[in-house]
Amino acid sequence: MCGRFWASLTWEEYRELLDLKSEPPETNFRPNWNTAPTHDVLICAERDGERRIEQMKWGLVPVWMKDKPKFSTINAKAETIEEKATWKGSLNKMRCVIPISGFYEWRRGPGKSKQAYAIKRSDGHPMLLAGLWAFNDKVDPDHPRTFTIITCPANEVMGAVHDRMPVILDPGDVGLWIGPEPWGDAHRALLKSCPDEWLTAYPVSNDVGSVRNNYAELIDPEGDPIF
């Protein structure tokens, strides 16, 4: 799954990474070192033929829903997005990319203990997560645009921490993923784990478990990388 991440990108990094031509959104681009569900997040989608960065709330609310979801919609399993009504309505025209610096995951230890890990790209580049978004101004008029992160079974190295991971796109596939082409086999082919060599993971403070903690030191290593 993917339930916590951090993003510390500048506008210049967003623009270069995603080849943006639009003006920056009205935000100060302040880093969020502990992004959690319900937070506003900067995502990239294509509308009217133009790539745009805009804020959306994490936790997708489909257009047909009349009340807040009674189940978690922060992640969508790649294996079932074509089957479940929650996601199906977004597949054709509401695909998005979530640019992040890295994500956190917890590895089970002896008994009930867990250790937090930071997972990021080994080359230091940002991650581009595959997502879906939706518009619903009835349930929460203040946050009509919402999104979810698509997950898939973990690759071999990520499996040392958790059995699932977010779908991390190659920058060269962003055009296809957020472009206007209707959902098809080319999109399905992207819903897979990234190559093992893309990732590195190392233990961090379990203070990241509290969303009230939000500071750069959360990503400081507290041990050697496990991959």
Spell out a b/e string for 16-30, using b for 16 or more CB atoms within 10 Å of the CB, else e: ebbebeeeeeeeebe
Domain segments of the chain: what residues? Answer: 5-219
pLDDT of residue 151: 98
How distant, in Å, are the alpha carbons of 131, 159, 180, 199 from that of 184?
16, 28, 11, 28
CATH 3.90.1680.10: does it fit domain 5-219? Answer: yes
Percent of the chain with pLDDT over 90: 90
The pTM is what? 0.96
pLDDT of residue 22: 85
pLDDT in tens, 12-57: 999 999 999 988 888 889 999 999 999 999 999 998 889 999 999 9
Q: What confidence category does residue 157 fall into, taking pLDDT thresholds of 50, 70 and 90?
A: very high
Percent of the chain with pLDDT over 70: 100
Q: Where are the beta strands (DSSP E) in the chain?
A: 5-7, 32-35, 40-47, 50-58, 75-77, 95-100, 102-108, 114-121, 127-135, 145-153, 164-166, 199-203
Q: Which residues are marked as active site?
A: 2, 105
Tokens of 182: 């209707």
Residues with Cβ within 8 Å of residue 66, at least 6 apart in sequence? 138, 139
Counting DSSP H helices and E strands in the chain, the numbers are: 4, 12
